[in-house]
Chain A
Amino acid sequence: MMNASFDDESLIQEFITESQEHLSDIEPDLLELEAQAPSVDQEIVNKIFRAIHSIKGAAGFFGFERLKNLSHVMESVLMRIRDKQLTPESYIVEPLLVGVDLLRDMVEDIQNSETVDCDALVPELDHYLKESTKYERGKLAGKGKASKATATQATATPETTATSTTNNAEGLPFTVADGVLQQYKNQGQSFFKLSISAEKHLFASHRTFNQFVDLLKSCGSFLGSNVTVEEADAPPEEIIALIGTVLEQDLLAGAFDVPAETITPYDSNVQANSASVVEKVTTGKAKIEVAAVASAAVTTPATPEKKEATPAPAIAGAKAAGSADAAVETIRVRVDLLNKLMDFAGELVLSRNQLIRATSQENAEQDKEGFNRIVQSIDTVTSYLQEHIMQTRMQPIEAVFRKFPRVVRDLAGQLGKKINLEMIGQDVELDKTILESLSDPLTHMIRNCCDHGIETPEVRQANGKVPQGTIVLHAYHEGGQINLSIKDNGNGIDTARVGKKAISSGVITQAEFDAMTHQERLNLIFHAGLSTAEKLSDVSGRGVGMDVVRSNIERLGGHIHLESTLGQGSTITLQLPLTLAIIPSLVVGLQHHRFAIPQVNLLELVRIKANEIHQEIERCGRASVFRLRGKLLPLVKLADVLQLDKLYIDPSSGNAKTDRRASIEDARFQDPVAIEQIPEIKRTAPISDYNILVLRVGANQYGLIVDEVFDTEEIVVKPLSSYIKNCKCFSGTTIMGDGKVAMICDVGGIVTQGKLNFGEIEAEEARRKDVEAKRQEMASLSTSKTNHGERQAVILFSNHPEERFALPLSSLLRLEKIEIKKIEVVGSREFINYRGESLPLIRLEDHLSVRPSPSDAEIAYMIVPKHGGGKAGIYATNILDTIETNVVLDSHLVADSQVIGSAIIQDHLTLFLNTEVLLESAGIWLEEEVDADTESYILAHNHHA
């Protein structure tokens, strides 16, 4: 069989890597060929031909006979296509694609490549090599998979029969491929034969055959039965089935609710049987069809059918991990990147040498400057190194996307639908590990879209849609995360049906369902064990799926969100971290603990001073909320979520004491006397301040209260010990600068642990958006009528106490309080020292015909507008207010070009300034070109906002 010595593992490893690359290139090319048929692009054919040829050559060299034979036949078929003897129509491309799958199977598990069953395919491909078959193809194409297998069985030459791996051992009226048996045997499953009576054992207990098969699958793998797919609704009286399971025989009878005597062990004896030929003369039709099903299962490993047949996803995962161990993984890295890494490594060595020299010098202590330089260079080199090493792990998402055109094409064919797949953002890069674990969930969702989402062309046309459905797969960066959306324009999710199903399977009650929001109802599909497919298909609909998808995504630190409108389609959005290895995070303190919060989840920090807590924090029942710019932010205390004892760290001594402070939130509903009784120090000390981290989980936000906020740090993520994996609140551990261990908080887990219910908040969000949209609509209506006036937030300030000015908030960069005595004067110009920079200060009276500011002030304000990039400040005596108002500007009073208009705000005449012109007239050079059209003042600022 194998003549190659396996001494040279590395050569074989190289062959595997190369072949895999070839194979993944071939697939899209074949699809392209198919799409172009009947015309043939010689370029593509040659490309495929060369790829197959090099696989064949190498396979022959290593002595992988089957691999060689299959690629040889495929090569021959391609040759005929090249010579225009065949046109690459679907019926030709189909077996070629199956061949690619088989080749991939063989290559991936090269040691067992001889056991892969390609007996069905080789003769079929051979078929196309014969001149005469050219005219019979219509007949062949019409019959689909089953007929292909039939043809295979019929045309099998004595030689192929001799090596056949399809065994038909005693007592089974159908065949199961040995490869399949071997595979399950390797997983430690033993096989049992069930012979039950449909009448007595199924219908008597109100079970259909399909339900029974599902039951079988829940306990192991269903390997075949004498009941064909068509017969499933009316199975024959005697049903014989073969299952593989890890369970004991005596447990099975109870699990399946059938008498014990119906179950007999089935000794597959796989090893011994594999070459032996047992007579195949049995029940004709049924036999062949089941064989076809079995071989289909073998030949289409890309479809998760096979995976679902394994008892549990966990086992599939374990298996994958196991096979990953067997072969050392390799990765291709660009040479220029490698060279850069080498350079950095060199620099690092240099810095280390400097460091050694500096520490060994006698006057090391005095030479602090020198040290700083070395530390700086090590710092730079380390971060460069980190960045570039990370890049070697980053791979374009195309690696995963690439297989979907094929998946969609195959499914569309099977389901009789027309589906167009659009992919956007294939070049978005993701960490290799994330990419790999993304493949299965994505495939599952794509299949769902094809099966449940997109309707058949007839239904679509009846609903007034174009017959071809569209699935859009879109990957893009946003806020340090990767977003992936899968959008289809199919039927959407029928929440009523989901609900009915959920109620009938006891997941929820009718009353619970009635109380649910649309979003919550949609989220029911993430519940384990729910499937709404009206009938089981081999594509999807067994109800193990979306829950696994969700848990997979969440394990990656990602988040999944579902939107759907009945009749219009669904969108699933995944948010994923770029990488799992090193992440920026914010380190926070809670009592004596330290926790790291991933920065991607952090939106902003809010600190509420201790003496303002009771005004700022409000209560809604027992829940605390905070108004963050008009939106209610639910607050949770990390200490509560983690169920820590309430401790109070005394600011003077640093000792921890039991926290006896009554909740100091929301004095409005509390006895002011009780508040007064809390010692002053506890109410006002900085330690009592509320530090609120505004965190986001998917589309939701909440505030997390912690004791202290330290610094942002790049942390190295270490996996959580399996002893503490039950803690949902943590996603990993890390080592801090001082060598101690800190936990990394899982922002999503805190939501679960803290029992935040976001379903309603999402609904509320939607409602608010609605209201906002309506209001804007109204506003725009009124604007178009009066031709001026728009609602916006403005800041009101004064220069001379009796004169008011306004600027839109959106045009401001910062507001700073300044001390008059710190203003420095150079000639006629004034400057203020701000963050190490000298900002020119503009006084309005110098540029406008307005009264000067009073000269006796000690404190003033500086408004730094966005224009000019924060390089100048406008002097203001007092900041009066910020208001949201409908600005209706009146321009006939305006004398200066620095003012665009005036309006009556809070019963005072207020001048609206144009910062551009003002800065220009003050001689501040503007870094960016700005629209100088004063008429579009408000619009321009809206644009900035």
Chain B
Amino acid sequence: MAQQQFVTFWIDQYLFGVNILNVREINSHTDATPVPLAQEAIRGLINLRGQIFTLLDLRYLLGLGHLRLTPDTHNIILKTNADAHNGGDDRVGFMVDKIGDIITVDEEELEAPPANTSDIDGYYLSQVIKLPKAVASIIDIDHVLTMREEPVAV
């Protein structure tokens, strides 16, 4: 039975997950350089070992308002296929409120997101996993990377 691993994390009060194969690394460089005039969902730029990464505010994308820095804030840096998105060598990651566990689930446990994702933007979700205590929503990385132009109205 095929299994998949997910990195889980918290944004606001919700549990999310992202396929571990999409994750390059997790770190806590939170002193990003903001970019004036950029889209609101862009939190800023950080330098990781001489390469510049763009940090997205996933919380904002999901329609939960702007992220606030806390000691728990972490960045999940994504592995992207350089050519697949926006045609460039895009190095990108997003900020989350808190990192959770890494979970391993059978593929069969993955379900389509419920029809009534009310206060978060369902566009960025691909699936959900039922965990004993909570439901983790799996983030659709492709949708995050291609970001909808319009800010989300929820």
B42 cross-chain contacts in A, Cβ below 8 A: 723-724
Q: Is the CB of A144 closer than 8 A to any CB of chain B?
A: no
Given the interface pairs A643-B36, A643-B37, the reply to whether A721 lies near B47 with Cβ below 8 Å is: no
Q: What's the tally of chain B residues with a CB closer than 8 Å to chain A?
A: 29
Contact B47 A723 (CB under 8 A): no
A723→B90 contact, CB < 8 A: yes
- Across the two chains, which residue of chain B brings its CB closest to A639? B36
Across the interface, name the chain A residue whose C-beta is closest to B44: A741
Residues of B near A753 (CB, < 8 A) are 37
Report how far A104 CA is from B105 CA in the complex, Å: 57
Report the separation of the CA atoms of residues A740 and B34 in the bound assembly, to the nearest whole angstrom: 11
Known A-B contacts A721-B92, A722-B88, A735-B50; A741 and B36 likewise in contact (beta carbons under 8 Å): no
The residues of A that contact B90 with a CB separation of less than 8 Å are 721-723
A593→B34 contact, CB < 8 A: yes
Chain A contacts of B87 at CB under 8 A? Answer: 318, 722
Contact assessment for A719 and B35 in the assembled complex, using a CB-CB cutoff below 8 Å: no
CA distance A291 to B52 in the complex (A): 52
Given contacts A733-B52, A735-B50, are A723 and B147 in contact (CB under 8 A)? yes
Tell me if B86 is interfacial: C-beta within 8 Å of chain A: yes
- Among the listed B31, B36, B52, B89, which residue makes an inter-chain contact with A593, where contact means beta carbons less than 8 Å apart? B36
Contact of B35 among A718, A730, A735 (CB under 8 A): A730
B residues in contact with A722, CB < 8 Å:
85-88, 90
Given known pairs A719-B88, A735-B52, A741-B52, the reply for A724 and B35 (CB within 8 Å) is: yes
Q: B15-54 toward A: CB 8 Å interface, digit per residue (1/0)?
A: 0000000000000000111111111001011110011111
Distance between Cα atoms of A742 and B44 in the complex (Å) = 10
What's the minimum C-beta distance from A739 to chain B, rounded to whole angstroms?
6
Is B98 an interface residue when CB atoms closer than 8 A count as contact?
no
On whether A642 and B36 interact (CB within 8 A), knowing A722-B88, A723-B86, A735-B52, the answer reads: yes
A734-745 CB mask vs B (1 if < 8 Å, else 0) is 010001111100
Contacts of B52 in A (CB 8 A): 718, 721, 733, 735, 741
Cα-based distance from A726 to B40 in the complex (angstroms): 12
Q: Does B79 contact A (CB under 8 A)?
A: no
- Chain B positions 138-154 with a Cβ under 8 Å from a chain A Cβ: 147
CB contacts (< 8 Å) of A482 on chain B: these are none
Could you tell me the distance between the alpha carbons of A751 and B47 in the complex, rounded to whole angstroms?
Answer: 29
How many angstroms between the C-alpha atoms of A729 and B32 in the bound complex? 19
Query: A727 contacts the other chain (Cβ, under 8 Å)?
Result: yes
How many Å from the CB of B31 to the closest CB on chain A? 7
Closest chain B CB from A29 CB (angstroms): 41
B38 to A, closest residue via Cβ: A724
Known: A723-B90, A723-B147. A741 touches B45 (CB 8 A): yes
For chain A, residues 631 to 680, give those with C-beta under 8 angstroms from any C-beta of chain B: 642-644
Residue from A722, A741, A743 whose CB has the most chain B CB atoms within 10 Å? A741
How far apart are the CA atoms of A593 and B88 in the complex, in Å? 26
CA–CA, A129 and B133, complex, Å: 88
Contact A723 to B38, CB < 8 A, known contacts A718-B52, A735-B52, A740-B33: yes
Q: Considering the complex, give the chain B residue whose CB is closest to the CB of A740.
A: B33
Residues in B whose Cβ lies below 8 Å from that of A593: 33-34, 36
Q: How far does the alpha carbon of A742 sit from the alpha carbon of B32 in the complex, in Å?
A: 10
**List of B residues within 8 angstroms of A318 by Cβ:** 87
Nearest chain-B residue to A638 (Cβ)?
Answer: B36
Q: How far is the CB of A221 from chain B (nearest CB, A)?
A: 22
List the A residue with the shortest CB-CB distance to B50.
A735
Shortest Cβ distance from A644 into chain B, in angstroms? Answer: 6
Q: How far, in whole Å, are A730 and B37 apart by their CA atoms in the complex?
A: 10
Residue pair A723, B54 in contact (C-beta under 8 Å) = yes
Are B31 and A724 in contact, CB atoms less than 8 angstroms apart?
no
**Chain A residues whose C-beta falls within 8 Å of the C-beta of B86 in the assembled complex:** 722-723
State whether B47 touches A741 (Cβ < 8 A).
Answer: yes
User: Are B37 and A729 in touch, CB under 8 angstroms?
Assistant: yes
Shortest beta-carbon distance, B112 to chain A, in Å?
Answer: 29
**Chain A residues within an 8 Å CB radius of B44:** 741
Smallest CB gap from A727: residue in B: B37
Tell me which of B31, B52, B86 has the highest count of chain A C-beta atoms within 10 A of its own C-beta.
B52
A-B pairs under 8 A by CB, number: 73
- How near does chain A come to B27, taking the closest CB pair, in angstroms? 13
Q: Which chain B positions have C-beta within 8 A of A718?
A: 51-52
* B33 and chain A: residue at smallest CB distance: A741
Q: Which residues of A contact B53 (CB under 8 A)?
A: 721
- Are B47's CB and A743's CB within 8 A? no
A740-B89 in contact (CB<8A): no
Residues of B within 8 A of A735 (CB): 47, 50, 52
Q: Say yes or no: B47 contacts A739, CB within 8 Å.
A: yes
Indicate whether A723 sits within 8 Å of B39 (C-beta atoms), given known contacts A733-B45, A740-B47, A741-B47.
Answer: yes
User: CA–CA, A721 to B54, complex, Å?
Assistant: 7
Asked if residues B33 and A743 are in contact (CB atoms below 8 Å), the reply is: yes
Interface string of A298-340 (1 = CB under 8 A from B): 0000000000000000000010000000000000000000000
Residues 437-448 of A, flagged 1 when their CB comes within 8 A of B and 0 if not, give 000000000000
Query: What chain B residues lie within 8 Å of A733 (beta carbons)?
Result: 45, 52
What is the CB-to-nearest-CB distance from A730 to chain B, in angstroms, rounded to a whole number? 7
Chain A residue at smallest Cβ distance from B54? A721
Q: Give residues of chain B (109-151) contacting chain A, Cβ–Cβ below 8 Å.
A: 147
Q: In the complex the two chains form, is A743's CB within 8 Å of B35's CB?
A: yes
With both beta carbons as reference points, the residue of chain A lying nearest to B91 in the complex is identified as: A721
Which residues of chain A (735-774) have a CB below 8 Å from chain B?
735, 739-743, 753
Q: Which residues of B contact A643 (CB under 8 A)?
A: 36-37
Q: For the complex, what is the distance from the CA of A735 to the CA of B88, rounded to whole Å?
A: 19
The answer to whether B47 and A727 touch across the interface, beta carbons within 8 angstroms, is no
- Report Cα–Cα, A722/B88, bound state, in Å: 7
Return chain B residues, CB-CB under 8 Å to A729.
36-37
A349-392 residues at the B interface, CB under 8 angstroms? none
Pick the residue among A721, A730, A740 that contacts B31 (CB under 8 A): A740
Is A721 a contact partner of B45 (Cβ separation < 8 A)?
yes
| Chain B residue at minimal CB-CB distance from A730 | B35
Assembled-state Cα–Cα distance A727/B46 (Å)? 18
Distance (whole angstroms) from the CB of B13 to the closest CB of chain A: 28
B85 partner residues in chain A, CB cutoff 8 A: 722
> A479 → chain B, closest Cβ, in Å?
28
Cβ B92 vs Cβ A741 within 8 A: no
Contact (A719, B47) CB under 8 Å given A727-B35, A740-B31: no
Compute how far the CA of A936 lies from the CA of B44 in the bound complex, rounded to whole angstroms: 62
* C-alpha gap A727/B91 in the complex (Å): 18
Which chain B residue has the least Cβ–Cβ distance from A594? B33
CA distance A733 to B38 in the complex (A): 14
Inside 8 A of A727's CB, which chain B residues have their CB? 35-38
CA distance A722 to B86 in the complex (A): 6
- Whole-angstrom distance between the alpha carbons of A318 and B45 in the complex? 27
Which residues 44-79 of B sit at the A interface, judged by CB distance below 8 A?
44-47, 50-54, 56
Q: From residue 557 to 593 of chain A, which have CB atoms closer than 8 A to chain B?
A: 593
Question: In whole angstroms, how far apart are the Cα atoms of A724 and B85 in the complex?
Answer: 14
Q: Give the complex CA separation of A723 and B91 in angstroms.
A: 10
Residues of A within 8 A of B39 (CB): 723-724, 726
For B36, give its contact among A644, A719, A721 (CB under 8 Å): A644
Min CB gap A639→B, angstroms: 9
Q: Which of B31, B33, B37, B47 contacts A642 (CB 8 A)?
A: B37
Give bound CA distance, A729 to B46, whole Å.
19
Q: Given the complex, which residues of A lie within 8 Å of B35, measured CB to CB?
A: 724, 727, 730, 743
- Give Cα A891 to B88, complex, Å: 73
User: Given contacts A643-B36, A719-B88, is CB(A724)–CB(B54) below 8 Å?
Assistant: yes
15 extra interface residue pairs, beta carbon distance < 8 Å, beyond A594-B33, A719-B89, A741-B45:
A318-B87, A593-B33, A643-B37, A721-B52, A721-B53, A721-B90, A723-B42, A724-B42, A726-B39, A727-B35, A727-B38, A733-B45, A740-B47, A741-B46, A753-B37
6 nearest A-B residue pairs (beta carbon): A642-B36, A722-B86, A741-B33, A741-B45, A721-B54, A722-B88
Q: List 6 A-B contacts (CB under 8 A).
A: A719-B88, A723-B90, A739-B47, A741-B46, A743-B33, A743-B36
Chain B interface residues toward A at CB < 8 A: 31-39, 42, 44-47, 50-54, 56, 85-92, 147
